[in-house]
Structure 1
Amino acid sequence: MTIEANDSTLSLAGERRGSLRPILEWTARHAEPVAISLVAILIGLALFSIFILAVGKSPATLFQLMYTGGFGSWFSVQNSLSRAAPLLLTALCVALPARLGLVIIGGEGAVVLGGVAAAAAALPIVGVAPVFLTLVVMGVAAMVVGGIWIGLAGFLRHYRGVNETISSLLLAYIAIALMNQFVEGPLRDPASLNKPSTTPLPPEYMLGNIPGMDVHWGLVIGVVACIASWILIEVTSFGFAARIAGGNVRAAQIQGLPVGRLIVGFTAIAGSFAGLAGMIEVAAVQGSANASLAAGYGYTGILVAFLARQNPLAIIPVAILLGGIDASGGLIQRRMGLPDATVLVLQGTLFIVILFCETFYGRFKIFNPDLWKSPQAAKGRA
């Protein structure tokens, strides 16, 4: 009886360990990017503290003000969420092409041209078309222009062998020059004297805020775009083909996958999201297209995408975090006498540390999923 009871107990314990193995394996697979990203943030904050000490300020005071300005009150939280809205979309401009092994850093160009396209599309129909239809037309125009602009970098990469990182960055500078040309030229509102801009949208044509919050609907659009992008990558055959091509282009071509269409398609979709961010800035924040469109959201989106490890769902919390840091810049300037660009220094420090920490992926045995597999599965894999 005792032997049978012991055998039964051991059998139950073995079954429990076996049932936990899939959970442990999943945790090991997904814990590494989270752990390394958190360590990178901590190292970046430590290095930034040295910089703050060098200028004679207190890092503790700085971080306290950063928290207060970004998340210390409901007003601060809403301000952070508003600033996170364009970051969600510009981060997707980096994350989606990254699944194909492409590094696109010129999302700022799609943002500014998307804003100009949205403002130009609204001019002939404001006061004629319904508000909702006008906003839809503005969004479509922004997405088309942004998609073409970043899709051009993908086209040059596949068909002409031009490095997409360099071409997208150069296209961003060209886009800013075109934006200035249009805003100060054919699209300029004669009433805008000191700050050239397009004709402002009437208040009733603005995007408006989420009910009960002082946050515009751009946040909802950004979150929906992130969820849709995750579904595109993880669920659809189009996303699966992109992951195959990103892992090994030669193998994808041997399998008959349309690598060229995948590259151009994904870069165009990525650019359309960045263009939509420009439309939201016009329809929800600025009210018109002007030089304020080049606010650096496209470049901050690079940091968001790298921190999120190109995962569209992880982009959501990371964008909110970076939005809070950005929102605290004014408070830091007033309370500590530091320039508003201090948060840009912090973002640059974090980005450098994250790039350095990229070299540590796959080097920690504890995050190896094979350690948590059953002996039979591990032997079969071997």
Structure 2
Amino acid sequence: MSAEAAGPIPTTRTPNVRTLKLAESVFVPVFALVGSFLIFSLFLLVIGKSPVDFFTLVWTGGFGSSFSIQQSLQRSAPLILTALAFAIPARIGLTMIGAEGALVLGGFTAAAIAIPLVTSGAAAPVAWLIMAITSMAAGGLWIGLAGWLRHYRGVNETISSLLLSYIAIAIMNFFVEGALRDPASANKPSTMPIGDAYRIGSIPGTDVHWGFAAGVVLAIILYILMSRTTFGFAARMTGGNVRAAKAQGLPVGFLVVTCCAIAGCCAGLAGFFEVTVIHGQANASLVAGYGFTGILVAFLARHNPLMIVPVAIIFGAIAAAGGLVQRRMGMPDATVLVLQGIIFVVLLASDTLYGRIKFFQPEARGDRT
């Protein structure tokens, strides 16, 4: 019997490997997030607080009004940039946790370079450009140094980037409490204030500063760079198998140092906005933990620059709701930090689920690619 006589061969629609992997990459973080909320709810019940009231207040404080939404977006700005500072090296197989130091050093550099600019009466746009460039350069050199030590000297990048963060904070404290200290800052050592004329305002029509817009634009650019260019393909190949990348003649050292420098530039830019928008000078307030929270954001986003933006907004909303939780429930503002810590631990534990859930494995389902 011919194939025509037998009729068409019946086919079934089955998802391909790429679709299953994408679904798995969404399911596991969401599962970890829900699990974290359940564990935190048990914690609230133990201390005699209502989980329903807590999460209601978090929603209200983060997204309940136009003001709340704008506060959430503003809080998410440094998280987007520091998450990118972790995600880009992760794409090449490195675990860089030094974004906090790069942010502090970038902010301090911006405040330090602003002193002669303000004194000379430079135009504000020119001053912003110079401050932003120097901040990004300082952050890029700092994280780039950790990448150089990793590739050319075999120094563990996690340890070196963490130690470099402490060194960066110490450098800022040395100058802020010494040569660059403003005599008027008696209670809290700080650099000279940059002045209102050199502060960067908000996006027109909103209370959200331009750091959020810069973070979104950078996320899009870095997504294109890492996913749609030969540089990104080479970086991903290096992250997958360094030996194979070297065998193919890829410039592994250049890729490692460049990705780390890009990461440092993102964190340094976050420091620039912290000084020019939030604080107006460099002091101990720059050490706010954004660099470490950015690690959590990047993990939850699976190191995807585009996914970092919505995840950072969620964490920005949680942070923005901290004050409301404190006032309404009589709980310390640090309660949201407990929630973040639980999310981080559960998220790390959930990483073992990848490749183990049969529903997302084509072989277990009998699917064909």
Q: Which residue of 2 aligns with 1:243?
A: 236
1:53 aligns with 2:45: yes
CA distance in 2, matches of 1:249, 1:124: 45
For residues 113 and 365 of structure 2, what CA distance do their matches in structure 1 show?
56
**Counterpart selection for 2:54 from 39, 62, 65:** 62
- Displacement of 1:186: 1.5
How is 1:279-290 mapped onto 2 (pairs within 5 angstroms)? 279-290=272-283
Q: How does 1:62-141 map to 2 (within 5 A)?
A: 62-126=54-118, 128-141=121-134
Mapped partners of 2:176, 2:59: distance in 1: 37
- Which one of 180, 184, 209 corresponds to residue 187 of structure 1? 180
**1:62-120 superposed Cα distances (whole Å, 9 cap, x missing partner):** 11111111111111110110010000000011100001111111210001000000111
Residue type at the aligned position of 2:165: A
3-state SS, counterpart of residue 124 of structure 1: helix
* Deviant stretches of 4+, over 6 Å: 370-374
Q: Does 1:275 align with 2:275?
A: no
Alignment gaps of 5+ in structure 2: none
1:254 equivalent in structure 2: 247
User: 2-side partners of 1:282 and 1:36: how far apart?
Assistant: 37
- Establish whether residue 338 from structure 1 lines up as the match of residue 331 from structure 2: yes
1:205 to 178, 198, 201: 198
Give the Cα–Cα distance (whole angstroms) in 1 for the partners of residues 327 and 263 of structure 2.
Answer: 37
In structure 1, stretches of 5+ residues that fail to align are none
Q: Which residue number corresponds to residue 303 of structure 1?
A: 296
Whole-Å separation in 1 of the counterparts to 2:214 and 2:363: 39
1:13-38 Cα distance to aligned partner (Å, 9 max, x none): 85xx6xx76x7655323111111110
What TM-score comes out, normalization by structure 1 length?
0.91
> 2: CA distance between counterparts of 1:369 and 1:90?
35
Question: Does structure 1 residue 326 correspond to structure 2 residue 296?
Answer: no
Q: Is the 8 A contact 1:91 1:315 kept in 2?
A: yes
Q: Does the Cα contact within 8 Å between 1:93 and 1:270 map onto a contact in 2?
A: yes
C-alpha distance in 1, partners of 2:310/2:330?
29
SS at match of 1:125: helix
The offset of 1:228, in angstroms, is 0.9
Out of 333, 346, 353, the position equivalent to 1:360 is 353
Give, as a single letter, the amino acid of the residue that structure 1 aligns with 2:242.
V
Q: CA deviation at 1:170?
A: 1.2
Distance 1:242 1:149 in 2: 20
Cα distance in 2, alignment partners of residues 160 and 169 from structure 1: 17
Report the CA distance between 1:307 and its aligned residue.
Answer: 0.2
Q: Contact 1:25–1:372 at 8 Å: present in 2 too? A: no
2:312 aligned partner, one-letter code:
A
Q: Deviations over 1:226-283 (max 9, x none)?
A: 1111011011211111101100001111111111111111111101100110000001
Contact map agreement 2:16 2:367 (CA 8 A) in 1:
no
Contact 1:25 1:370 in 2 (8 A): no
The Cα shift of 1:365 comes to 3.2
**Alignment check: 8 A CA contact 1:24 1:372 kept:** no
User: Does structure 2 retain, via aligned residues, the 8 Å contact 1:208–1:217?
Assistant: yes
CA contact (8 A) 2:73 2:208 kept: yes
Matched residue type, 1:88: I
- Distance, in Å, in 2 between the alignment partners of 1:244 and 1:79 is 39
In the alignment, does 2:168 pair up with 1:175? yes
> Aligned-pair distance for 1:348?
0.7
Structure 2 residue identity aligned to 1:294? V
- For each residue in 1:168-207, what CA deviation from the matched residue of structure 2 results, as whole angstroms up to 9, or x when unmatched? 1111111111111111111111111111111112212111
CA RMSD, 1 decimal: 2.0
- Percent identity (aligned): 59
Tell me, yes or no, if the aligned pair for 2:358 and 2:365 is still in contact at 8 Å: no
SS in 1 for 2:117: coil
For residues 138-191 of structure 1, what are the alpha-carbon distances to aligned partners after superposition, in whole Å with 9 as ceiling and x for unaligned? Answer: 110100100111111111111111111111111111111111111111111111
In 2, distance between residues paired with 1:46 and 1:87? 24
- Residue of structure 2 equivalent to 1:151: 144
Of the three residues 330, 344, 361, the one matched with 1:351 is 344
- In structure 2, how many angstroms separate the alpha carbons of the residues matched to 1:374 and 1:101? 30
